Amino acid sequence: MAISGRWAGKTSSVKPCLGLRRDFWSGPVRRLRCLTVHKIRIEFVVAALLWMTAGSGWAASSDAAVSGVVRDAQGVAQMGALVQILGSDATLVRTAYTDLSGHYRVENLLPGRYQVRATLALFTPAIRSNLRLPVGARAVVDLTLSTVFQSTSWLPAERRRADEPSDDWKWTLRSAANRPILRMIDDDGQILVVSSSATEAHKPAQHVSAAVTSGDGGFGLGGVHHKFSVDTAFEDGSDIVLRGDLGSELSATGRAPTADFDAGYERKIGFDGAARVVMNVQSHPEMRSTGGAAGLGSIRLATAQKTKLGDLLDVEYGSSVTAIRVSGVGMATMPFMRMTVHPVENWSVGYRMATSRELQSYEALDALQGETPVAAMANGRLAIEKGMHNEFAISRTDGRGLVQVAFYHDAIHNAGIAGTGILSPDDLQRPGVQGLLIDTMTDSFRLLSNAYSAQGVRVTISEPITQGLSVAFAASSGAALSTRDCATTLQAASEGMRVRQGQTATIALKGRVAGTGTKIRAAYRWQPRSMVTSVDAYAPFSDQSFLSFYLSQPLRFGGVLPTGLNAVVDVTNLLEQGYQPLISKDGRTVFLAQSPRVIQAGLSYTF
C-alpha cells in the first residue's frame, strides 16, 4: 500500500530497525522501540560507570595506610631502612624503604591486624606489634633502631655518667662496614640501583681506641692513665668488648701501677630481648684500709637481661657478685629488678628494685666500667655500702619529651661518705666508723658510716630544645646524712652523723651540638650544704653535686690532625661547694663533701 502526504515525507528518511518492515502501522511503533532500546543501553552504561566509580572510591577509602619515620637511638633519621608489613600470621604483606629523611609510607592495606618491622645493616630490628588498622585508617608508626655496637657506650674508655651522650663512631662504622645492601641514590632521592651482598662472607666489624688522661682528685683515678678498648660486633647482633686502664703516679717510684680491666659480652635472646655479661678486675696498690692494710683488689661479675611481652610489659633483671680483698676477703651480691607496663600509648607505670646505685637497670651496664669499690673489714666481715631501693613511677612521653612522677623508699646500710685531705695513721687504726679507705695518690678518702632510711617524691621533666640537645629538670624530697653543727673533728663528725630531711633540685643540659661533633653534659645540682650524702641517692645526677660538666670535642684544625682525635674534659663540683671542714687526729684540716671536686682531662684516638 502506497503512503502519501506527510507520512510519506517522514518515513522515507527513517532506517529500518532490526530488519523490520516499514509499513503504516509498524513504522512508528518500531521507531519507538528502537529509541527505547538505545535509551536503556545508555542508562545501563551510565549506571555501570557510576557503580564502578563508586566502587573504586569505596575501595580506596576502605584501604588503610601506614607511615612514619625510622630513627636511631640518638634521634638521627635513617636512610635506606627496610620496612616490612607483616600479617597476623607473620606473612609478608608489603615492603618499603625509607627516603633521605627517614620517612616511609605503605598504602593499600586491608583492614586487620599487622606487625611493622624495620631493619638496617648493623642494627637490631625494630618491631611494632599488634597494630590494628580499621577501615580507612591512616596510622603513624615511628620506629627506633638500636645499633648492635653498644660496646663503646657500655664499656667506654673515659669515665662517664649514666646520662652522658654515647659515642658517635658507630655511624661511620655501620655506614661502611658489612653493609649487606648498597643503594645508589640520585639527587631527588629515587633509588637507581640496588645490589645485595647477602651471599658474600661477612667479617666482624671492629673498633679500636686509645686514650691518655690525667687530672686532679678522683678517688681511685689518680696519676696518668693509659687506656685502650677493642670492640667487635657480629652480624647476629652479639658484641665482645675488651677494655684496659693502667694508671701510674709519675712522682712515685717502685709502686705497682693501678689496673682496671673489663671484658663484656652481649647477645640477643627471644622476645626481643638481650643479655649482657660484664667482668671487671681491679687492683689498687695505693689504697690503705682500716687497720693499716695496704692495697685493694676486686673481681666483679655483673649480668643483666631484658625482655618484652608484646607492647604491654618490659622486664629487666640482673645482679652483680663482687669479691673484694682489703685486710681480709669478702663477697657481696647485689640484685636488681625493673618492670614497666604500658597500659595506653605514651603512658607507662613502672616499678624497680635495686640494691646498688651502680646497677639499677639493664642499661646501667653502659656505665659499669668499675668504680673503685669502697669496702673494709669490720669484725671479720666485709662492710660495703648496700641498700634497698623501691620505687613506683608514672611517666608520660611526648616524642622525646618526658614527664615522670616517682615515689620511693630507701634503706641504706654502711652509707659511704666522701672526703679529701691527708689522714694520719691514727685515723686508720681508730676511725670511729664502720670502715675507712684512703687513696694515698690523690689524698682523698671514703668512710662507711651509719645506716639510715629515707622516702620521698621525685618529679622529672625532660624536653628537647634542638635535634641533638635536651634540657632536663628534676626535683626530689627525701633525707640524707648531715654533720652536727658542734662537730669539729673527723671522729666526732663521723660518730655523730644525723639524718636530716631536705630537698634537692637539678637542671641539666645534655646532648650533641649539631655540625660540630661536640658532646656536652652540664648540670647544676643543689641541696643543703650541710649534707654529706645525696638526697634521693638512687636518682639520676645523684653522684653530681653543684656545678658539674662533661665535654668531648673532636680536634680537626683544617685536616692537619688525624681523624678520630678527641679532647675530653670531665669536671665534678667545679666550685668546691658543700665542703665541711674538720680536724684530723694530727691537727690537719680535712673536708667531708657530698662530691669532692674532680677534674679529669685527656686525649682519645679512634682507629
Residue 578, CB half-sphere, CA atoms under 13 Å: how many? 27
Does residue 472 register a pLDDT over 60? Answer: yes
Length of the chain: 607
Predicted confidence (pLDDT) per residue in 281-299, tens digit: 999 998 988 777 788 999 9
- Please tell me the least confidently modeled range out of 20-29, 240-249, 458-467: 20-29
Residue 302 lies in a domain: yes
Top mean-pLDDT range of 18-32, 411-425, 501-515: 501-515
Does 223 lie in the same domain as 173? yes
Query: In percent, how much of the chain has pLDDT > 90?
Result: 35
- The confidence score (pLDDT) of residue 536 equals 93
- The confidence score (pLDDT) of residue 126 equals 84
127 Ramachandran zone, left/alpha/beta (phi>0; psi -120 to 50): beta
CA distances, 73 to each of 139, 156, 209, 453 (Å): 22, 17, 22, 36
| Comparison of pLDDT for 127 and 205, the residue scoring more | 127
- The confidence score (pLDDT) of residue 159 equals 38
Does residue 547 register a pLDDT over 70? Answer: yes
| Comparison of pLDDT for 124 and 535, the residue scoring more | 535
CA distances, 387 to each of 156, 335, 357, 393, 411 (Å): 26, 11, 8, 19, 5
Query: In percent, how much of the chain has pLDDT > 70?
Result: 76
CATH label of the domain that carries residue 345 = 2.40.160
Does residue 18 register a pLDDT over 60? Answer: no
Classify strands 138-140 and 64-72 as parallel, antiparallel or unpaired: parallel
Does residue 54 register a pLDDT over 90? Answer: no
Residue ending a domain, choose from 129, 147, 165: 147
Predicted confidence (pLDDT) per residue in 128-167, tens digit: 888 889 888 899 999 988 754 433 333 333 333 434 434 3
Does 594 lie in the same domain as 479? yes
Residue 108 lies in a domain: yes
Does 366 lie in the same domain as 465? yes
Q: How far apart are CA 106 and CA 96, in angstroms?
A: 7
- The confidence score (pLDDT) of residue 91 equals 85
Specify burial of residue 518 (Cβ count, 10 A radius: 0-12, 13-18, 19+). middle
- The confidence score (pLDDT) of residue 492 equals 80
- Read off the C-alpha cell for 361: 637497670
Does residue 35 register a pLDDT over 70? Answer: no
Q: How far apart are CA 538 and CA 547, in angstroms?
A: 19
| Mean pLDDT value of segment 426-442 | 73
**255, 321, 329, 320: which is closest to 297 by C-alpha?**
329
Does residue 475 register a pLDDT over 90? Answer: yes
Residue 569, CB half-sphere, CA atoms under 13 Å: how many? 10
- The confidence score (pLDDT) of residue 44 equals 54
Asked if 595 and 573 touch (Cβ cutoff 8 Å), the reply is yes
| Mean pLDDT value of segment 516-531 | 90
Does residue 403 register a pLDDT over 90? Answer: yes
Residue ending a domain, choose from 15, 33, 61: 61
Q: Which pLDDT band holds residue 127 (cuts at 50, 70, 90)?
A: confident
Residue 255 lies in a domain: yes
Does 227 lie in the same domain as 133? no
Predicted confidence (pLDDT) per residue in 193-216, tens digit: 333 333 344 556 778 889 999 888
| Comparison of pLDDT for 30 and 508, the residue scoring more | 508
- The confidence score (pLDDT) of residue 200 equals 42
- CA trace torsion 450, 453, 459, 463 (10° rounding): 40
Number of domains in the chain: 3
Cα 111 to chain centroid distance, Å, stands at 34
Does 486 lie in the same domain as 554? yes
Residue 429 lies in a domain: yes
- The confidence score (pLDDT) of residue 448 equals 85
Q: How far apart are CA 351 and CA 393, in angstroms?
A: 6
Residue 488, CB half-sphere, CA atoms under 13 Å: how many? 2
Does 246 lie in the same domain as 164? yes
φ/ψ of residue 179, rounded to 5: -80, 115
Does 112 lie in the same domain as 21? no
- The confidence score (pLDDT) of residue 147 equals 59
Does 199 lie in the same domain as 178? yes
Q: Which pLDDT band holds residue 516 (cuts at 50, 70, 90)?
A: confident
Residue 444 lies in a domain: yes
Residue 1 lies in a domain: no
Does residue 184 register a pLDDT over 70? Answer: no
Q: Which pLDDT band holds residue 535 (cuts at 50, 70, 90)?
A: very high
Does 93 lie in the same domain as 207? no
Residue 301 lies in a domain: yes
φ/ψ of residue 25, rounded to 5: -90, -40
Q: Which domain holds residue 139?
A: 64-147
CA end-to-end span of the chain:
112
Does residue 7 register a pLDDT over 50? Answer: no
Residue 587, CB half-sphere, CA atoms under 13 Å: how many? 0
Does 452 lie in the same domain as 356? yes
Output the CA angle 530-497-217, nearest 5 degrees: 60
| Mean pLDDT value of segment 121-130 | 80
Predicted confidence (pLDDT) per residue in 73-101, tens digit: 767 888 889 999 998 877 889 999 999 88
The whole-chain average pLDDT of the chain stands at 78
Q: Which pLDDT band holds residue 70 (cuts at 50, 70, 90)?
A: very high
Does 184 lie in the same domain as 129? no
Predicted confidence (pLDDT) per residue in 250-273, tens digit: 666 667 889 999 999 999 887 778
Q: How far apart are CA 224 and CA 504, in angstroms?
A: 34
- The confidence score (pLDDT) of residue 154 equals 37
Q: Given the C-alpha cell 647476629, which residue does it identify?
A: 236
- The confidence score (pLDDT) of residue 5 equals 43
CATH label of the domain that carries residue 93 = 2.60.40.1120
Residue ending a domain, choose from 121, 147, 173: 147
| Comparison of pLDDT for 479 and 378, the residue scoring more | 479
- The confidence score (pLDDT) of residue 100 equals 87
Does 225 lie in the same domain as 87? no
